[in-house]
Chain A
Amino acid sequence: MKRVYVNEKWCLGCHLCEYYCAFASTGEKDMARALKDIKINPRIRVEERNGISFAVSCRHCTEPLCVKGCITGALSKSGGIITVDRNKCIGCFTCILSCPYGAVSPSEDGAIQKCELCVKTHEGTPRCVSGCPNGAIVFEERGE
């Protein structure tokens, strides 16, 4: 299946992926308007230090510890994509305790949030990928 892959060699540390990610979940047409005066809480996060930077989001693991450890059954994997049923999630954060990538985070309403490859917001390429100006984030099949 297609996944998001990141190569730090190409990452400019511009954080645009974070803005595109936050924009994707607003359902708005215009990014500037959608994010105006908002403190974004994206599901992809750039780590940076000493001139190195890279974006981290859910790896959609083949052996997903977040799904296996989820106490409610809110996290599940289907068609290779790990999604969260926000209606079931009670925000215990066992998944945050489990994820070896640090790719799950609390959302504003108490449930958790994570990258769902934009499947719930639009078709096709995830926004962080299409919005990356330097090809540091790609969406492709690499075999498992």
Chain B
Amino acid sequence: MSSLKYVIIGNSTAAVGAVEAIRKNDKEGRIVIIGNEKYHVYSRPLISYLLLGKTDEARMKYRGEDFYSSHQCELKLGRTAQKIDVENKCVILDSGELESYDRLLLATGSSPVVPPIPGLDKVEKKFTFTTLDDAKALDEALFEGTRVLILGAGLIGLKCAEGISKKKVEITCVDLSPKVLSSILDDQSSEIVKKHLEDHHIRFYLNRQVTGFEGNKAILNDQTKIPFDVLVLAVGVRPNISLLKEAGGRTNRGILIDDHCRTSIPDIYAAGDCCESVDVSSGETKIMALLPNAYMQGECAGMNMSGVDYIFDKAIPMNAIGLFGKHILTAGTYTGNTYFESDDQNNYKKLFYSNNRLNGFILIGNIEKAGIYTALIRERTPLDTIDFELICQTPGLMAFNRETRAEKLGGVMNVSVGSTIGISRAE
């Protein structure tokens, strides 16, 4: 057991999850991390907060300075894995080095999609927005009054917009979808968010597509021309699956894994944004490129790699996003009947349920105790075991029955000094 060698390709969230799990079970085995970025592990979603000035590179570190040494990891940063030799159980690096493995984890993440738009290659100042280097490069291109065109009004595009707004740039956002945040909001909530963003001077061209670039002008399908100085491509990300695919492993859009985070090739595991996994809120297999899932899949892979039978089968889509002070929390799938509340302060709550289960929710503004809803989705809690009407109005433990509450808050009380002198109030 103690002689195992673990190789992890990738140095982000899923890799950390795996390292922390492996070291719970195996203090001796070698762990080698291969990462193509030169940085200590940092939180990718924080790049927009970096531009906004709400964090800095030191605080962006996802784990402390001593993470690698305290977990006895050997680092090979600035290197790219080029091929997996399945037969000889080794990874071939761009430097020509061979790294043999007993257990291999692919935590390769995803890459921004660069759409094939005519004239795009001639656009000088174009950026993607998923890495720290992306953020630094974009930041250097921005000055007060710079006209920025963002392709994509999804999570990445809008967080980028918020981040760069600090520099007093002019922001225009184009998206094929008629809605902002179309992957996580319904029509009505999307409209609230769009208005909020427009109040912060972001201009939208929705339901529109860039059909070409003429120098620094984007031409839309309705012939609108948008001049810009800087272009940000935020149309989506694509899982990095080529290593496994070329090695003969099963892939779809993402790497296919089971509930132990095993790929179809023995001793090769995968976790994080490079994978497809089962969304328990819908039962569908899909890509859920989200940080919490990446950590938990990495952890699951690490446990199994180090010999502990461990299952992660509770992945759901879940997003917490703040934009110009407005908080949006969503989870699950938007199917079934709805419970709906909103007010003139733009607080918005919609719950989706069917077949005695909560499937999903959208909360804007008042996000208090949202995790209680998330837990109902994740655990597939039968709604007839709780006071569903109450929990719709007020998320809380009160909606559970007395036994469940007692269990959640500490089990049946052991007799303690306090309880022997207490006044019994209930019953």
- Which A positions have Cβ atoms within 8 angstroms of B? 3, 5-12, 47-49, 51-52, 54, 56, 59, 65, 68-69, 71-73, 87-88, 90-102, 104-105, 132, 134-136, 138, 140, 142
Q: Which residues of A contact B49 (CB under 8 A)?
A: 90
Please name all residues of chain A whose beta carbon is closer than 8 Å to the beta carbon of B1 when the two chains form the complex: none
Question: Contact flags (1/0) for B383-426 with A, using CB distance below 8 Å?
Answer: 00000001000011110001001101111011011111111111
Q: Which residues of A contact B369 (CB under 8 A)?
A: 96, 99, 102
The reply to whether B321 and A135 contact each other, CB–CB distance below 8 Å, is: no
Cα-based distance from A60 to B397 in the complex (angstroms): 16
**Neighbour of B427 across the interface among A9, A71, A105, CB < 8 A:** A9
Q: Is the CB of B320 within 8 A of A72?
A: no
Stretch at the interface among B54-62, B79-87, B209-217, B337-345: B54-62
| Additional A-B contacts beyond A71-B45, A98-B292 (11; CB < 8 A) | A7-B413, A10-B413, A52-B426, A54-B397, A68-B296, A69-B291, A97-B319, A98-B371, A98-B374, A101-B371, A140-B414
A residues in contact with B411, CB < 8 Å: 5, 142
Asked if A102 contacts B406 (CB within 8 A), the reply is: no
Specify which chain A residues have a CB less than 8 angstroms from the CB of B408 in the assembled complex: 59, 101
Known A8-B405, A10-B419, A11-B425; contact A102-B397, beta-carbon cutoff 8 A? yes
Q: How far is the CA of A73 from the CA of B64 in the complex (A)?
A: 9
B327 in the interface, Cβ–Cβ < 8 Å?
Answer: yes
Q: Given contacts A90-B49, A92-B322, are A56 and B409 in contact (CB under 8 A)?
A: yes
- Determine if B329 and A102 form an interchain contact, defined as CB atoms under 8 angstroms apart: no
The answer to whether B63 has its CB under 8 Å from any CB of chain A is yes
Q: How far is the CB of A89 from chain B (nearest CB, A)?
A: 9
Determine whether B375 belongs to the interface, using a CB cutoff of 8 Å to chain A: yes
CA distance A3 to B402 in the complex (A): 20
The answer to whether B331 touches A97 (Cβ under 8 A) is: yes
Q: Is the CB of A5 within 8 A of B62?
A: no
| Bound CA span A134–B416, Å | 11
Which bucket holds chain B's interface residue count?
Answer: 35 or more
Cα A88 to Cα B46 with chains together (Å): 10
Q: Is the CB of B426 within 8 A of A8?
A: yes
B409 touches A7 (CB 8 A): yes
Give the nearest-CB partner of A52 in chain B: B426
Residues of chain B within 8 A (CB-CB) of A88 are 55, 59
Tell me if A93 and B329 are in contact (CB < 8 A).
yes
Cβ-defined contact, A94 with B61, below 8 A: no
Q: Which residues of B contact A7 (CB under 8 A)?
A: 406, 409-410, 413, 419
Residues on the B chain within 8 Å of A91, using CB: 322
A10 touches B320 (CB 8 A): no
How close is A78's CB to chain B, nearest CB, in angstroms?
Answer: 11
A101 CA to B369 CA, complexed, in Å: 7
**Contact B318–A97 (Cβ < 8 Å):** yes
Docked CA distance A141–B17 (Å): 29
A9-B414 Cα distance, complex, nearest whole Å: 12
**Distance of A87 Cα from B370 Cα, bound (Å):** 24
Residues of B within 8 A of A132 (CB): 418
Are A73 and B61 in touch, CB under 8 angstroms?
A: yes
User: Is B372 interfacial (CB-CB < 8 Å)?
Assistant: yes
Q: Report B17 CB to chain A, min CB distance, Å.
A: 7
B273 close to A (CB within 8 Å): no
The answer to whether A96 touches B423 (Cβ under 8 A) is no
List residues of B (299-330) whose CB comes within 8 Å of A's CBs.
Answer: 299, 318-322, 327, 329
- Tell me the smallest distance from the CB of B256 to a CB of chain A, in Å: 23
From B45, B320, B329, B414, A142 is in contact (CB under 8 Å) with: B414
A136 partner residues in chain B, CB cutoff 8 A: 418, 422
The listed residue (A49, A95, A97, A142) touching B398 by CB distance below 8 A is A49
User: B329 contacts A96, CB within 8 Å?
Assistant: yes
B326 CB to closest chain A CB (Å) equals: 11
Kindly list chain A residues whose C-beta atoms are within 8 Å of the C-beta of B64: 73
Q: Which residues of B contact A65 (CB under 8 A)?
A: 292, 371
Residue of A47, A69, A87 with most chain B CB atoms under a 10 A cut-off: A69
Contact between B59 and A135 (Cβ–Cβ < 8 Å)?
Answer: no
Check A54–B409 contact: CB distance below 8 A. yes
**A residues near B375, Cβ cutoff 8 Å:** 100
CB <8 Å contact, A68 and B321: no
